[in-house]
Amino acid sequence: MFNIVFQLNFFYDPLEQFAIVPLFWSHIMCPSQITNLTLILVLNLFLIHFVIAEIYNRSESNIWIVLLKSLYGVVKNIIKSNTTLKRYQYFSILLFLFLFIFVSNLVGLIPYSFTLTSSFVVTFFLALTHFIGINIIGLTEQRWKFFNLFLPSGVPLAIAPILIPIEFVSYLARVFSLSIRLFANMMSGHALLKILIGFSWTLLGSGILSAGIALFPWLIVTAIMFLELLIAFLQAYVFVILIAIYINDVISMH
């Protein structure tokens, strides 16, 4: 009876895969509860470290070195195309951010795994921490000129009391736009996959005559899986582009 209920819940609840589930208690530093989100987060960080370390430790060329060089080129092109920086002083931060989001998106496609970027807590943390860092860079580089972002040049002072709050709210909205865009795209894509897989499995289990009908949803699932691989890259790409643009805004005051 329990097995039947578990299978029905697994196949018919597309949001079940996004639930944060407590796994065990850890007493290494202080008593804390380890969840599936925490476990996947640590595994993703170790995966990024392991891949980069293995690539740097190998002298011969292989597919992993070619892949990492391609990702290096992608991030460098983002900085070159979207900023006026003469040096790549923020390259390492943007590269790690790109790799973290990209790897988290890919790991989330593995069955019975957990997609970090489908959790709003994670995406909001990424957006907020980088937003705070960008503002620190702006205040360090521009001092009091930084606040000119909220009052564009040439604007009459009569409308300044109205324009400044609007610009300030719009500026703060960047945090939510960054986090919600990534969270919503990853969550919707994975939920759609879960619904189609559950529907196809139900058709296959309903009888032999339905097997041919079930083939069509499986073809759609396969196509969407390849689309999710592309989305996993694009979402990391878009997130890093926007961060680079925001860095350029506070440095060049555009």
Mean pLDDT within 218-225: 77
Mean pLDDT within 2-8: 39
Q: For residue 129, is pLDDT > 90?
A: yes
Beta-bridge partner residues of 33: 25
Q: For residue 147, is pLDDT > 70?
A: yes
Alpha carbon distances (Å) from 67 to 63, 71, 73, 109, 174: 6, 6, 10, 19, 31
Q: What ranges do the domains of the chain cover?
A: 33-252
In this prediction the pTM is 0.80
Strands, E assignment, the chain: 22-26, 32-35
Cα 141 from Cα 134, distance rounded (Å): 10
Q: For residue 180, is pLDDT > 80?
A: yes
pLDDT tens per residue across span 32-68: 677 777 888 888 888 888 777 766 666 666 677 777 7
Which region among 6-10, 15-19, 112-116, 203-207 has the lowest average model confidence (pLDDT)?
Answer: 6-10
Looking at residue 151, what is its pLDDT?
72
Looking at residue 210, what is its pLDDT?
57
Q: For residue 8, is pLDDT > 50?
A: no
Looking at residue 71, what is its pLDDT?
83
Q: What is the dihedral of CA 146, 252, 245, 127, to 10 degrees?
A: -20
Quote helix, strand, coil % in the chain, to nearest 5: 80, 5, 15
Select from 185, 218, 59 the least CA-distant residue to 117.
Answer: 185
Mean pLDDT score of the chain: 77
Contacts of 242 (CB under 8 A, 6+ apart): 174, 178
Which region among 67-71, 120-124, 209-213, 230-234 has the lowest average model confidence (pLDDT)?
Answer: 209-213
Are the CB atoms for 7 and 180 separated by under 8 Å? no
- Residue 3: pLDDT band by 50, 70, 90 thresholds? very low
Cα 242 from Cα 30, distance rounded (Å): 37
Looking at residue 40, what is its pLDDT?
83
